[in-house]
């Protein structure tokens, strides 16, 4: 139980407060379609994908250097932010992109867990609880976004022009900076 709670906390804190890139990614997913059903499908696809590569990476089955993974994570945020700006409605293909991006984010999570270390004999327990902590962090971001602006403004005619586009633009700028930084200065 101690291991479960420790890795649950580590998964959550990897998202809130330390995972700004993941916070911005989930926020971008929420912005374009703040309906609960659609964001749950998107978050679930992301979680399933990152769980797959997290487990495979930790078992040593796949290994991609962080010098490749980290810029791709930044590019995934940029992609979703730009999609929010240039697309007015959620397209069915988005779930495919989210799944693919989730695969890359899972390898980023694996880097964090490798640095933290996994207790011997508790691999599965630690992995499940870390993933659960990440999921709780994602749900917290979604609920926070819903409480801040989704609940009150998402049905307003000006929501796209005053919420989606400006926030997505800021996120796109940040993720572009991260992409450049991670490619050329890391």
| Contact partners, residue 74, CB within 8 Å, separation at least 6 | 21, 175, 176, 178, 179, 182
The rounded percent of the chain whose pLDDT value lies above 90 is 69
The rounded percent of the chain whose pLDDT value lies above 70 is 100
Domain that holds residue 34: 2-184
pTM of structure:
0.92
- Over residues 38-55, the pLDDT tens digits come to 898 898 899 899 999 998
Contact between 107 and 69 under an 8 Å Cβ cutoff? The reply is yes
pLDDT computed for residue 100 by the predictor? 95
Q: Encode burial over 150-183: b for 16+ CB neighbours within 10 A, e otherwise.
A: beeebeeeebbeebbeebbeebbebbbebbeebe
What secondary structure letter does DSSP report for 88?
Answer: S
CA–CA dist 105, 165 (Å, integer): 24
Number of domains composing the chain? 1
Torsion, Cα 64 70 73 75, to 10 degrees, reads: -110
- Over residues 63-79, the pLDDT tens digits come to 999 899 999 999 999 99
Q: In this structure, what token pair is assigned to residue 38?
A: 């659609």
- Over residues 7-39, the pLDDT tens digits come to 999 999 999 999 999 999 999 999 998 888 889
């Amino acid at each position: 139980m101690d291991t479960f709670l420790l890795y649950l906390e580590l998964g959550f804190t990897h998202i809130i407060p330390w995972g700004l890139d993941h916070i911005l990614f989930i926020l971008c997913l929420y912005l374009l379609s703040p309906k609960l059903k659609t964001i749950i499908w998107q978050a679930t696809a992301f979680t399933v994908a990152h769980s797959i590569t997290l487990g495979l990476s930790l078992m040593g089955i796949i290994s991609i250097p962080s010098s490749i993974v980290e810029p791709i994570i930044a590019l995934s945020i940029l992609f979703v932010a730009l999609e929010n700006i240039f697309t007015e409605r959620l397209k069915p293909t988005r779930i495919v992109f989210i799944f693919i991006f989730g695969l890359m984010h899972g390898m980023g999570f694996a880097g964090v867990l490798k640095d933290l270390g996994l207790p011997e004999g508790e691999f599965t327990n630690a992995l499940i609880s870390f993933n659960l902590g990440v999921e709780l962090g994602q749900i917290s971001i979604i609920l926070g976004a819903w409480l801040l602006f989704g609940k009150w403004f998402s049905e307003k005619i000006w929501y796209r022009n005053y919420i989606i586009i400006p926030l997505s633009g800021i996120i796109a700028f940040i993720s572009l900076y991260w992409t450049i930084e991670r490619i050329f200065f890391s």
